[in-house]
Amino acid sequence: MFSRRPTSEDRRVYLARFDFEGDAHIGRGIYIDGAYTSRGFVSEDEESLRHRLEGLIEEGRLTLDAEGAHKPTIASVERRGDVITVKLRGPPVERPRRRLLRFRLGRRRRQQMHPVLDYDIARRVRDMLEKDQFYDFVELLESFTPLIEEREVTPFDGRTVHPVSTRTLLSELTVYSKGLVPRHKREARTLTLLDRSVSMANAWSLWEEHPKIKVARFLANVVDAVQLNSALYSFGSGLRPEESIEAVEPEDEETRLDLALGEAALLEPERLVVITDGMPVYSPGLDTEELCDSAMGMLDAMGRSGVRVLAVLLGYDYDMVRFYQRLERNPSVTLIELAASSDVVEMMHKLADWL
């Protein structure tokens, strides 16, 4: 009933989380069949979920401890958006007494510099995502962009060069450095393929309640801001041009990346961005194994023909990773696995290197 990862199928799921009323949660958790859990993906609505949980409590399968000695009661089940909050009641627990440390006045410490941790960067990016500040993200991305050193040769008038001596000519030409500049190729023809399947409306992960389509739109805005010569297309049952990134809605019940790549190749892009969350091809009435292999073969062929491919994989799905990992040996293909916000720092390095 509860799954820690969303399904590979293109259908909607809800994120169920457990909460407690009062002080019953101190020192205790939720155990289903002896396994601890606090969140999970479910396909039922709130009423069906309440009946299912009540049955688990009566059977003794849902308890507050691993031994099954304490059973909770359901206080309420409410759904807001795609998140279902289950509030439980349990026996009261005494709060542990804490000793307060005495505060002593002393000299004020000077502010000291400290390194920026990966946690700080992930928190900043999470705030930018919530407020849709992709331009601030682009500025932060500039600090991750690798630098190259441009070199120049001093001009020489040729007056002191012997007409026969090449050694004199080479000795008068001096190579000097112009400085470090960001390595960006903004004039490349960039094509962004954004997944519009129904599963993109699901939560990003167990601990990230943002829908995956919001993260995908954010990254598409970043690519559009950095790459000036870019075009946006969405794919589901087919390929469709989009005038606005915000107009892309998760509505298709199948994913056909193979058809989208076949039409995208006719546009002859120099850079290709694919933002998706599941298998390359999913359709209830088709055998998708060979079609997925064909889609990966097309991406591999485009990368080896000179196209710089960037594939952003949202969430974690075993079948998705199983197919896309075949492209790891291709030097022109960059894979970014965004299973949760903890992968943001690695994404910044890979995205800056791809740009």
pLDDT tens string 80-135: 888 888 888 877 666 666 666 665 655 666 666 667 777 788 888 888 888 888 88
159 Cβ partners below 8 Å, 6+ apart?
none
Instruction: Identify the pLDDT of residue 45.
Output: 83
Cα separation values, 22 from 9, 89, 98, 310, 329, Å: 38, 8, 19, 48, 54
Assess contact for 264 and 271: CB atoms under 8 A: no
Look up residue 132 and give its DSSP letter.
T
CA distance 295 to 51: 42
Residue 138 tokens read as 């682009």
Assess contact for 66 and 25: CB atoms under 8 A: no
Quote the Cα angle for 248-251-254, to 5°.
Answer: 115
Residue 205 burial by Cβ neighbours in a 10 Å radius (0-12, 13-18, 19+): buried
SS3 72: coil
Of 253 and 340, the structure prediction assigns the larger pLDDT to 253
Instruction: Identify the pLDDT of residue 296.
Output: 94
Instruction: Identify the pLDDT of residue 5.
Output: 67
Of the ranges 20-24, 54-58, 69-73, which is most confident? 54-58
Q: What is the mean pLDDT of the chain?
A: 81
Look up residue 285 and give its DSSP letter.
T
- In the chain the domains, ranked by start, together with CATH numbers, are 14-89 (no CATH), 148-182 (no CATH), 190-354 (3.40.50.410)
Q: Mind listing the pLDDT tens digit for each residue in 193-250? A: 999 999 898 888 777 778 899 999 999 999 998 888 899 999 999 999 998 999 999 9
Residue 93 tokens read as 């627990």
- Is the pLDDT at 8 greater than 90, yes or no? no
Assess contact for 339 and 315: CB atoms under 8 A: yes
Instruction: Identify the pLDDT of residue 97.
Output: 67
Assess contact for 11 and 82: CB atoms under 8 A: no
Instruction: Identify the pLDDT of residue 164.
Output: 47
Instruction: Identify the pLDDT of residue 287.
Output: 85
271 Cβ partners below 8 Å, 6+ apart?
185, 188, 189, 190, 191, 227, 307, 308, 309, 310
Residue 241 tokens read as 């041009």
Instruction: Identify the pLDDT of residue 92.
Output: 67
- Is the pLDDT at 11 greater than 70, yes or no? yes
Percent of the chain with pLDDT over 70: 77
- Is the pLDDT at 299 greater than 90, yes or no? yes
- Please count the other Cβ atoms lying within 10 Å of the Cβ belonging to residue 289: 12
Q: Mind listing the pLDDT tens digit for each residue in 249-272? A: 998 989 999 999 999 999 999 999
Assess contact for 320 and 8: CB atoms under 8 A: yes
Instruction: Identify the pLDDT of residue 94.
Output: 62
CA distance 21 to 9: 35
Residue 36 tokens read as 């601890």
Assess contact for 179 and 149: CB atoms under 8 A: yes
Model's pTM, two decimal places? 0.75
Q: Mind listing the pLDDT tens digit for each residue in 152-204? A: 666 555 555 545 454 544 455 565 556 655 555 557 789 999 999 998 988 88
SS3 58: helix
